Amino acid sequence: VEISRDQHRVTLEHRGLSPSAQVIDCGNSGSTLRMLAGVLAAQPFRSTLTGDASLRRRPVARIVEPLRRMGATLGAADGDRLPPLTIEGSALRGIDYRLPVASAQVASAIQFAATFATGPTTVEIPGPARDHTERMLAASGARVTVEALPGGGRRVRVEPGSPSGLRRFAVPADPSGAAFFLAAAAASPGSEVTACGLSLNPTRTGFLEVLQEMGAHVSIVPRGEASGDPIGDVTVGAPARLRAFDVPAEWLPRLVDEVPAWAILAAVAEGTSRVRGAAELRVKESDRLAAVVEALRATGIEAVETPDGLAVTGGRPHGARVAAHGDHRIAMAFAAFGVLAGGAIEVDDAGAIATSFPGFAGVLESLGGRVDHGGGGTST
C-alpha cells in the first residue's frame, strides 16, 4: 500500500496486497494484530504477525478459531495461544459464528475477513462491545445489517464485497485518550477542559456518565457524524468536591480502557469507589488492575484489587516514582495524576505512551502541566 502523510492526514493508495518481506511487528498494539489478521486471512500468501514482549503474552486463540472455520490456515505459539501468529491466507467462506465473549477486536477480525468471503457471514456478539467497525463498513458502502439482542448484544451480518464508497475517513477524537485530561480537569478545582470532535458512540460514553455520577460538570455539544460515529465537543469542569461512586459491572464494556483514568479520579474523591467486571484488564499490555494498585499505593492512596476489579479510597496523594510496566494507559494515567498529587509523579516506561498517543505530553503541557522527560522516565 502506497502511503503518504502530513500533520493531519494519511493518504493510502491500494493496488493489491503482496507478501511482506519480513515478520510484521505490531509493537504494543493488540488492535493491530487482531484486525490485520482478518485482512491477511483472505490473502493468497503467508504472513507472520508478532509484537513486543507485552503483546506476545496476549492471547490470540479467539481469532484463530473463527478464521480457521472461514478457511484460512493459522498457527501460533504455545499451542496456538500466543503470538507470533502465522497466517496462510486462502479463499474464505462465510460462516455463522457466536463469540464466546463480547470482544470488538475479535468481531472486527471476522468482519474484515467477511468482506472477502463467498457468502454472508454472521457474527453474534453476546454482550455490549464497541461497534466502530460495522459502523465504518456501513458508511463505506459495505452491506451490513445489525440486529439487537437481549442483554445488550447484537447479531451482525456482513455480505461479501469490499467496501468502495468511502474515499475520505474523518477519524473521531478518541474517548480513551481524552479521558486522562477530562479526569484531571474534573479533579482540579477551577479547571475546565474541552475535548473537540470526540466520538459519542454509545458504546464509548460510559466514562462521561461516571464523571457525572462523581459530581463533575459535563456538557456536550453535538457536531454531527464522522464516518458512522456521532461526534461532539465535550466540556468537563471540576465540582467543589468529587464523590465516590461504585461503577456497575454492566457499565464496564463502555469504559474498559478508561479504568486507569477512573482510578486517578477515585484517588482524590471523597469516600471509597469501586469497579467490578474488569477481569479482562489482567491480560492487557500489563495486568492493569495490579499495576494501578501498585502505583496508587506508591503515592499514599489506599487501593485494593479484587479478582475482577478495584476499590480505591480517596485521599491526599504525594509524589512518587511509579512503574507503567510498559503499558501506555498506566503511563498516561499517572502522568496526568502528577497534576493532582502533592509532589511530582515520575513514571518509568513512559515511552509506552507512543503506542496510542504520541502527542500526549505536549497536550498535558498546553493545559498547564509541567513535564520533565529526564532521568529515564517522565515526571509531572
- H helices of the chain, where? 30-40, 61-69, 77-80, 104-114, 132-139, 175-187, 206-213, 259-266, 288-298, 328-337, 360-366
Are residues 97 and 69 in contact, defined by beta-carbon separation less than 8 angstroms?
yes
Q: Please name every residue paired with 145 in a beta bridge, in sequence order, or none if there are none.
A: 157
Are residues 195 and 178 in contact, defined by beta-carbon separation less than 8 angstroms?
yes
Instruction: Encode 163-206 in three state secondary structure.
Output: CCCCCCCCCCECHHHHHHHHHHHHHCCCCEEEEEEEECCHHHCH
**How would you classify residue 290: left for phi > 0, otherwise alpha for psi between -120 and 50, otherwise beta?**
alpha
Are residues 39 and 14 in contact, defined by beta-carbon separation less than 8 angstroms?
no
All residues at 6 or more sequence positions from 317 whose CB lies less than 8 Å from its CB, including other chains = 267, 268, 296, 299, 300, 301, 337, 340, 341, 342
Are residues 50 and 26 in contact, defined by beta-carbon separation less than 8 angstroms?
yes
Q: Which residues are identified as catalytic? A: 257
Q: What letter would DSSP give residue 300? A: T
**How would you classify residue 126: left for phi > 0, otherwise alpha for psi between -120 and 50, otherwise beta?**
alpha
All residues at 6 or more sequence positions from 378 whose CB lies less than 8 Å from its CB, including other chains = 331, 335, 346, 347, 350, 353, 361, 371, 372
**Quick count: other Cβ atoms within 10 Å of Cβ 307?**
9
Helix, coil or strand: residue 4: strand
Distance of alpha carbon 304 from alpha carbon 316, whole angstroms = 17
